[in-house]
């Protein structure tokens, strides 16, 4: 199983190293993000990396930054006992960034905000500013939007 992951990573690394385009041959690596016309490191492309899936299971993760997706492969055995590369999971994260609280453990971010406000109120009453003098965002004003319309609609990508 390990040798297949090693071979896949070696193929990807060989492809990346053996590229002979004009940008790589004309500019130094420190110049890539500047006037060479190519985005900085980590800006675009497909990335591959390994990670642990279970106690003794590892997978090959691939991430496409341009389309906002990640997917994972794992080596498994077919009914005949042959090794197969199997797709384990795939997901788009394009819309995830618009969520504020989803599937979070206690205390939630909102509960933490309330606790901090309570602590600041107690500290202010005791006359101790301490490290709690960092401003918190103001609470949202009551909505004047009719109930049949959403109060906030995020700007989604095209």
Render pLDDT for 6-42 as a digit per residue (tens, 0 to 9). 887 877 877 776 765 544 555 555 544 444 555 555 5
Q: Does residue 13 sit within a domain?
A: yes
- The answer to whether 85 and 75 have CB atoms below 8 angstroms apart is yes
- If asked whether residues 89 and 109 sit together in one domain, one would say no
- If asked whether residues 20 and 91 sit together in one domain, one would say yes
Number of domains in the chain: 2
- If asked whether residues 83 and 127 sit together in one domain, one would say no
Higher pLDDT, 141 or 63: 63
pLDDT score recorded for residue 145: 46
Strands 69-77 and 58-64: antiparallel
Q: Does residue 7 sit within a domain?
A: yes
Render pLDDT for 75-106 as a digit per residue (tens, 0 to 9). 988 899 999 999 999 999 999 989 888 888 88
Q: Does residue 146 sit within a domain?
A: no
Q: Does residue 152 sit within a domain?
A: no
Q: Is the dihedral of CA 50, 51, 57, 61 positive or negative?
A: negative
CA dihedral 91, 97, 103, 105 (to 10 degrees): 130
- The answer to whether 55 and 41 have CB atoms below 8 angstroms apart is no
pLDDT score recorded for residue 13: 76
**Band of the pLDDT at 156, cuts 50, 70, 90?**
low
pLDDT score recorded for residue 34: 46
- If asked whether residues 17 and 89 sit together in one domain, one would say yes
- If asked whether residues 128 and 71 sit together in one domain, one would say no
Q: Is 49 helix (H, G, I), strand (E, B) or coil?
A: strand
* Mean per-residue pLDDT of the chain: 76
- If asked whether residues 37 and 107 sit together in one domain, one would say no
Domain containing residue 125: 101-133
């Amino acid at each position: 199983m390990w040798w297949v992951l090693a071979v896949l990573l070696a193929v990807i690394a060989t492809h990346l190293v053996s590229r002979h385009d004009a940008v790589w041959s004309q500019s130094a690596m420190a110049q890539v993000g500047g006037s060479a016309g190519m985005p900085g490191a980590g800006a675009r492309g497909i990335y591959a990396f390994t990670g642990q899936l279970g106690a003794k299971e590892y997978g090959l993760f691939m991430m496409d930054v341009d389309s906002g997706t990640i997917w994972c492969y794992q080596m498994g055995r077919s009914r005949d006992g042959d090794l197969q590369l199997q797709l384990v999971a795939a997901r788009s994260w394009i819309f995830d960034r618009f969520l504020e609280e989803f599937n979070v453990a206690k205390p939630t971010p909102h509960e933490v905000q309330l606790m901090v406000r309570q602590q600041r109120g107690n500290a202010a009453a005791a006359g101790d500013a301490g490290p709690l003098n960092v401003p918190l965002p103001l609470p949202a004003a009551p909505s004047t939007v009719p109930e049949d319309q959403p109060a906030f609609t995020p700007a989604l990508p095209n």
